[in-house]
Chains A and B, each alone.
Chain A
């Protein structure tokens, strides 16, 4: 069965960086894109970025350009999302989300990783 297992909750100081992992299994790694979506408490989801199945094509939301980086380790089928220069307003639940190639929707969501930015 499809599984997206994310790393645990973290607390960071303003200005620090966070790297969240998403270990995938149960499907053909190279057939699917992975997105990152975040959701602050009481707010709607916010799309952040996509790493396409080829591992090279990455599109970031303009809002995060310059401080968001997506990478992956094919050998372990794990994706990583690194957000730098953290601000209080980056406090949110961060999801990795699967999209089938050329289907333009999100079919499996990870459980989310809570990132808290606090001084």
Chain B
């Protein structure tokens, strides 16, 4: 199972918005609404930000939102803040009952 494809890096200014894509196939992202997103700061474990494409855990800011179209899922961060600077990974359930992570996107806040 190959990793889902994400852009290596995204940079944007404080207060602006960014969208990170996560492209898979009809056997994973496109086939199930079981895409989740994780934020990881250096030296820390990943943290759940979005689940089932667009749902937010109760402790996650409304600035984070998710969507999906076809084989591509997206994470949007609006009103970028300094603490959003981190690595972001998507994850999807697959048709073989396994899971696959994305290649990861480093977000830089200018």
Q: Which residue of A lies closest to B48 (CB)?
A: A107
Known: A44-B101, A46-B101, A47-B91. A106 touches B1 (CB 8 A): no
Could you say which interface size class chain A belongs to?
Answer: 20 to 34
A56 at the interface (CB under 8 A from B): no
Whether the Cβ atoms of A106 and B38 lie closer than 8 Å is yes
B46 at the interface (CB under 8 A from A): yes
Nearest CB of chain B from residue A107's CB, rounded to whole Å: 6
Known: A104-B36, A105-B36, A111-B45. A47 touches B101 (CB 8 A): yes
A75 at the interface (CB under 8 A from B): no
Residues of B participating in the A interface, judged by any CB pair closer than 8 Å: 1, 3, 32, 34, 36, 38, 45-48, 51-52, 57, 87, 89, 91, 93, 96-104
| 26 A–B contacts, CB within 8 A, in A order | A35-B99, A37-B101, A44-B102, A45-B91, A45-B101, A47-B91, A47-B98, A47-B99, A47-B101, A59-B96, A59-B97, A59-B98, A61-B1, A62-B1, A62-B98, A95-B45, A104-B34, A104-B51, A105-B51, A105-B52, A105-B91, A106-B48, A109-B47, A110-B45, A111-B45, A112-B45
